[in-house]
Structure 1
Amino acid sequence: MKIGLVLPVVVQHPSTRAEWERTAGIAEVAQIAAAADRLGYHHVAASEHVAVPREIAVERGGTYWDPLSTLGFLAARTRRIRLATQVLVLGYHHPLEIAKRYGTLDQVSGGRIVLGLGVGSLREEFDLLGAPFEDRGARADDAIRALRASLSDPAPSYDGPFYSYDGFVVEPHAAQVRVPLWMGGRTRRSLRRATEFGDGWVPFGLNVDELQAMLGTVDLPDGFELVLGSGRRLDPLGDPDATLRAVTRVREAGATVLGVSLVSTGAGHYCDQLHALRELTGQAGCTFDADPGHDRDD
């Protein structure tokens, strides 16, 4: 099982945000991403919301850094770690807009993007952006097919029920021959969408029994990634036993990738937690991709 990082600061939920994140900025985010890169973590992830209604932000949070800007900045300060959107809302973008912007990021990062994609559920945001809401699932399916046909092609062509284009040049395009697409969601339809069109599934809000019941209804393709969260912030320095139990539970649930958030009092402490988590979970069979001699902060 590989381990990735749900970046602090760039998404701030009122119930889980650490106090230091309120005033932290890109310097702290870059410090943490660089440490994760040196230690061989699989990915760093940023999510997307354009504008959250004030009353909803009180409960769900209103701070969401733009993933393209954030990951583009981090691409220049890391070497190997993958740069993941978790998730990009398909209905807010034309497929070729995604192909151009994230294809460019894939080029400048040396082929490191992972596109986590979602249908979206915040109707007020759809309405604000003039994006259709009622048929967003069908539109998302068509957008995913269009992306698969277009991300790595400088002259993409696609003809579907919602998106159709031909005769355009899209340069730069993605460096990867096949950009990994992870589908977010918590329904059987999201899982079917992931196995039919994607390379991984990022479920949320499901307990282990619900997860196993859904997985039992499909045959997972070879190499398919099941990307699960840790369920709570982990504290490998303060409570290594509970941390190891949480990681083991996720791995036994079938995860091939674990996305973690960590208890922290600041960026330096967060980096120390990354070191501790690597040591703890590496002994338990989790995999990292760090270069010898580059596994400590300067």
Structure 2
Amino acid sequence: MRLGLSTPVVIQQPGIASPWERDAGPAELAAIAAAADDLGFEYLTCSEHVGIPAQAADTRGSVYWDPLATLSFLAAHTRRIRLATSVLVLGYHHPVALAKSYGTLDRLSGGRTILGVGVGSLREEFDLLGAEWAGRGAEADAALRRLRAAWGQAVVDGLAIEPHATSTDLTVWVGGRTLRSLRRAVALGNGWMPFGLSPDTIAGYLARHPAPPGFDVVLSTGRACDPLGDPAGTRSQLERLRDAGATLVTCVVRADNPDHYREQLSALHEIGHPL
């Protein structure tokens, strides 16, 4: 089982983000990304929301850094670690435009881009962007097929696309919280990135629809890990996710300040490495 990070600062959900993140900026973010890179973590994530309904901000939070700008910044401060959207809402974008913009990120980062994608769950955000809410699942499936066909191609529908991704081999993790999202992931992606589900529910879904060989199940710790303060509890969190079927775990890490965060990363790597 391999470990990635839910990048701090760039998404701040109430009850999950640490207080120091409110005042942190590019310098702290770059230092944490470099530390994760040096330690051998697999990936950093960044979510996508243009806007959150004000009445939902107390539960969803209102801080969501733009993923393309953020991951491009992180690419410049790292060497090896991969860069994952978690997740892009397919209905907000033209698939060829995604192939161009994130293909450029892939080129800049030396082939480190992972596209986590989803159908979307905020009707207000769809309305804000003029995106179609009804039928968004079928539209997302069609967009994902077209995105995969365009990825890494120099010519798409008779149009030259330069720069483009470093290869035509796109890694796609499909987000969601239903059995249908797992089916979509198996049919159209390389991995499943569920959210808001218990490990037991995830294990049940995977029993009903087993993942093929080489397919990743990307689970999240949900609540923040405290590797230094509670190493046994952190190990138990990771083991429970492993037993539910995780091949990758996106870790949320509790810390008192940026220096403490980096210390927590080192301890987390030591705990997770043998699992």
Q: What residue is the counterpart of 1:205 in the other structure? A: 196
Shift of 1:177: 3.0
Shift of 1:219: 3.5
The letter of the residue matching 1:58 is: D
Instruction: Provide Cα deviations, 1:243-278, integer angstroms capped at 9, x if missing partner.
Output: 111111111111000000111011111100011111
- 2:166 is aligned with 1:169: no
- 2:221 is aligned with 1:230: yes
- 2:275 is aligned with 1:277: no
CA distance in 2, matches of 1:224, 1:16: 29
- Mapped contact 1:106–1:176 kept (Cα < 8 A): no
The letter of the residue matching 1:45 is: T
Give the 5 Å matches for 1:1-298. Answer: 1-156=1-156, 166-282=157-273, 284-285=274-275
Give the root-mean-square deviation of aligned CA atoms.
1.0
Shift of 1:84: 0.3
SS at match of 2:155: coil
SS at match of 1:87: strand
Instruction: Provide Cα deviations, 1:77-104, integer angstroms capped at 9, x if missing partner.
Output: 1000000000001000000110000000
Shift of 1:221: 2.1
CA distance in 2, matches of 1:233, 1:10: 15
Instruction: Provide Cα deviations, 1:13-36, integer angstroms capped at 9, x if missing partner.
Output: 122221101111111111111000
Between 1:66-75 and 1:243-252, the stretch displaced more is: 243-252
CA distance in 2, matches of 1:76, 1:195: 32
SS at match of 1:174: coil
How many positions carry a matched residue from both structures?
275
Between 1:172-181 and 1:88-97, the stretch displaced more is: 172-181
- Mapped contact 1:104–1:173 kept (Cα < 8 A): yes
- Mapped contact 2:221–2:252 kept (Cα < 8 A): yes
- Mapped contact 2:118–2:175 kept (Cα < 8 A): yes
TM-score computed with the length of structure 1 as normaliser? 0.90
- Segments ≥4 residues shifted beyond 2 Å: none
CA distance in 1, matches of 2:168, 2:131: 30
CA distance in 2, matches of 1:59, 1:210: 22
Shift of 1:169: 1.4
Shift of 1:231: 2.7
Between 1:82-91 and 1:174-183, the stretch displaced more is: 174-183
- Mapped contact 2:154–2:162 kept (Cα < 8 A): yes
The letter of the residue matching 1:12 is: Q
CA distance in 2, matches of 1:230, 1:14: 16
CA distance in 2, matches of 1:88, 1:211: 22
SS at match of 1:216: helix
SS at match of 2:208: coil
Shift of 1:210: 1.5
- Mapped contact 1:5–1:259 kept (Cα < 8 A): yes
TM-score computed with the length of structure 2 as normaliser? 0.98
The letter of the residue matching 2:268 is: L
CA distance in 1, matches of 2:265, 2:271: 10
The letter of the residue matching 1:155 is: V
SS at match of 1:83: strand
SS at match of 1:48: coil
The letter of the residue matching 2:87 is: V
Shift of 1:176: 2.9
CA distance in 1, matches of 2:18, 2:222: 16
User: Are the structure 2 counterparts of residues 219 and 251 from structure 1 closer, same or farther at C-alpha, using a change threshold of 3 Å?
Assistant: closer
CA distance in 1, matches of 2:200, 2:240: 12
Q: Which runs of 5+ in 1 are unaligned?
A: 157-165, 286-298
Between 1:110-119 and 1:7-16, the stretch displaced more is: 7-16
Percent of paired sites with the same residue: 55
